[in-house]
Amino acid sequence: IQLTQSPSSLSASVGDRVTITCRASQDMGTSLAWYQQKPGEPPKLLIYAVSSLQSRVPSRFSGSGSGTDFSLTISSLHPEDFATYYCQQVDPYPPRFTFGPGTKVDIK
């Protein structure tokens, strides 16, 4: 499976609603996750199983989608949300993990 993300980067302001899209070359099932990575830090799991919010992740983050098209939405951008976001798909049999190329969100 190949993953593409759009846009590859975006500039936004605090308070903006932001949506990032992840598209797969074939049906991804329900194993789609989203990660946030800030410079110098490891990735952080935000959303797993398409739409489940990871513990202690703010509710302004949400995930949706099915089949080959998925999205991550930040309902109101906070200053700490400026980062790079990656989608990830998992095939359990045989184990295969695929990451999207990333979307960088920076300050307008």
Partner 1 sequence: EVQLVQSGAEVKKPGDSLKISCKAFGYSFSKYWIGWVRQKPGKGLEWMGIIYPGDSDTRYSPSFEGQVTISADTSTNTAYVQWSSLKASDTAMYYCAKSWQMGTVNNFDIWGQGTRVTVS
Q: Report the interface residues with partner 1, using CB under 8 A.
A: 31, 33, 35, 37, 42-45, 48-49, 54, 86, 88, 90, 92, 94-102
Nearer to partner 1, 13 or 41 (CB): 41
Q: Which is nearer to partner 1, 97 or 106 (CB)?
A: 97
Output 71 or 88, the one with its CB closest to partner 1.
Answer: 88
Euclidean distance between the first and the last CA atom of the chain, given in angstroms as a whole number: 33
Secondary structure (3-state) at 81: helix
CA atoms of 51 and 53, how far apart (whole Å):
6
Shortest Cβ 92–partner 1 spacing (Å): 4
Backbone CA torsion sign across 12, 103, 37, 89: positive
